[in-house]
Amino acid sequence: MIFKNIVSVIIIFISINSYSQWTSNGGLRMNDSFISMCAVDSSCVWGVATVGYTEDTTCIYKFTPSHIWYRLPMQNFMYPTKMTCIAALDSNRAWVGTDDGKIYHTTNGGFNWIQIYSFGGSGFINDIKFSQQNKLVGYANSDPPNGTGTPFKILKTTNGGLNWIEYGPVLTAGYNGAARSSSVTDANHYWFGLSNSSSNVPRIAYTSNGGLNWNVRSISYNSGFLYPVEMMSNSLVGYCSALNYFPVYLFKTTDGGNSWGNSYTVPVEANWGVSSIKHIAGTYNWYFSTESMTNVPIYKSTNNGSTWAPMIIDNNHDQVRSMCFTRNGNRIRGFASTYSGAIYDLYSDTAYLVNVENIGGTVPSNYKLEQNYPNPFNPITKINFNVPRSGKALLVVYDMLGREVSTLVNVNLQPGVYETTFDGSGLNSGVYFYRLTSGDYSETRKMILLK
- What is the Cα–Cα distance from 290 to 158, expressed in whole angstroms? 33
Query: What pLDDT score does 3 carry?
Result: 34
Task: Determine the average pLDDT of the residues in 62-69.
Answer: 84
- Average pLDDT across the chain, whole number: 88
pLDDT beyond 90 at 165: yes
Percent of the chain with pLDDT over 90: 60
- Give all domains of the chain, ordered by start, each with its CATH number: 21-350 (2.130.10.10), 356-449 (2.60.40.1930)
Instruction: For 210-268, give the DSSP string.
Output: TTSS-EEEE-SSS-SBEEEEEE-TTSS-EEEEE-S-SSEEEEEESSTTS--EEEEEE--
Answer whether 414's CB lies under 8 Å from 429's CB: no
Query: What pLDDT score does 80 carry?
Result: 65
- The pLDDT tens digits of the residues spanning 125-161 come to 999 999 988 899 999 999 999 999 999 999 999 999 9
Answer whether 311's CB lies under 8 Å from 285's CB: no
Instruction: For 311-354, give the DSSP string.
Output: -EETT--S-EEEEEEEEETTEEEEEEEETT-EEEEEEEEEP-B-
* 355 confidence band (pLDDT: 50, 70, 90): confident
* 14 confidence band (pLDDT: 50, 70, 90): very low
Task: Determine the average pLDDT of the residues in 82-87.
Answer: 96
Ramachandran region of residue 9, left (φ > 0), alpha (ψ -120 to 50) or beta?
A: left
pTM of the entire predicted model: 0.80
Q: How many degrees, rounded to 5, is the angle at CA 324 between CA 319 and CA 326? A: 150
Residue 406 or 215, more confident: 215
251-285 b/e with 16+ CB inside 10 Å = b?
Answer: bbbbebbeebeebbebebeeebbbbbbbbbebbbb
**Of all helices (H) and strands (E), which one includes residue 325?**
strand 320-328
pLDDT beyond 70 at 248: yes
- What is the Cα–Cα distance from 163 to 154, expressed in whole angstroms? 13
pLDDT beyond 70 at 263: yes
- The pLDDT tens digits of the residues spanning 92-130 come to 999 999 999 999 999 999 999 999 999 988 899 999 999
pLDDT beyond 50 at 182: yes
pLDDT beyond 90 at 87: yes
φ, ψ of residue 31 to 5 degrees: the values are 60, 25
pLDDT beyond 70 at 319: yes
Query: What pLDDT score does 296 carry?
Result: 75
- Other beta carbons less than 10 A from residue 399's beta carbon: 15
pLDDT beyond 90 at 189: yes
Task: Determine the average pLDDT of the residues in 225-233.
Answer: 92
- What is the Cα–Cα distance from 143 to 127, expressed in whole angstroms? 10
pLDDT beyond 50 at 448: yes
Answer whether 226's CB lies under 8 Å from 219's CB: yes
pLDDT beyond 50 at 332: yes
Helices (H), 277-426: none
- What is the Cα–Cα distance from 125 to 120, expressed in whole angstroms? 10
- What is the Cα–Cα distance from 338 to 3, expressed in whole angstroms? 56
| Residues 6+ positions from 403 with CB-CB distance below 8 Å | none
- Other beta carbons less than 10 A from residue 18's beta carbon: 16
φ, ψ of residue 13 to 5 degrees: the values are -105, 150
Task: Determine the average pLDDT of the residues in 354-373.
Answer: 87
Answer whether 53's CB lies under 8 Å from 31's CB: yes
- What is the Cα–Cα distance from 155 to 128, expressed in whole angstroms? 9
- The pLDDT tens digits of the residues spanning 205-222 come to 999 999 999 999 999 888
Q: How many degrees, rounded to 5, is the angle at CA 310 between CA 24 and CA 237? A: 110
Q: Is the dihedral of CA 337, 343, 346, 351 positive or negative?
A: positive
pLDDT beyond 60 at 252: yes
* 270 confidence band (pLDDT: 50, 70, 90): low
Query: What pLDDT score does 79 carry?
Result: 61
- What's the order of all strands across the beta sheet hosting 215-218? 176-184, 190-195, 203-207, 215-218
Residue 89 or 246, more confident: 89
pLDDT beyond 60 at 59: yes
- What is the Cα–Cα distance from 229 to 136, expressed in whole angstroms? 21
Task: Determine the average pLDDT of the residues in 417-430.
Answer: 90
